[in-house]
Amino acid sequence: MRCSASAPAARARRLLRRLAPTERPVVALDGVDLRVHPGEFFGLVGPNGAGKTTLLKCLSALILPDAGGGAVNGHDILTRRGEVRATTTLVKGGGWTSNFWFLSLRENLEVYARRCGLPRDLARSGSTRRSSSSTWSVTSARRNGT
């Protein structure tokens, strides 16, 4: 139960995204609504092709939805894309398709924190605690069946 009335760190409203890799378009997102509050952890779980990565790419302003909208850290994902990108980092994991498939979730967070310029000690400690001003997303925390 959430007691805080703070604004969400991430919000999606009726997101729709169609992909057209073949002659028959695929609906990857079909009216997705989401609210993630500051400091809250969330996970996206589903089979391959369920739209997990597409949702995160829309919320990270890497791709545009076909309909709907949202905001991340107070910035609209449609009209303030530069600000969304400047305040987010998408760390994508996913088995054999990930660059660092052999690392644990914590190790991946440390690698990406270091890539973003954090000193080693902060990257290591930051991957074990959460900050009230950050939103972490986990699309896949499984590694070798764990």
Taking the mean position of all CA atoms in its chain, how far away is CA 36? 11
* Predicted confidence (pLDDT) per residue in 95-104, tens digit: 544 566 677 7
Read off φ and ψ for residue 65, nearest 5 degrees: -75, 160
Paired tokens of 35: 């609210």
- CATH for 38: 3.40.50.300
Cβ within 8 Å of residue 73, ≥6 positions away: 9, 10, 83, 84, 87, 88, 135
In a domain, residue 32? The reply is yes
Inside any domain, residue 4: no
Residue 127 covered by a domain? yes
Residue 1 lies in a domain: no
User: Which range, of 71-75, 76-80, 91-95, averages the lowest pLDDT?
Assistant: 91-95
How many domains does the structure of the chain reveal?
Answer: 1
pTM confidence score: 0.64
pLDDT in tens, 4-58: 457 888 999 999 999 876 778 789 999 999 999 887 777 788 888 889 889 999 9
Three-state SS at 109: helix
Per-residue DSSP letter, 8? P
Task: Give residue 37's domain range.
Answer: 10-138
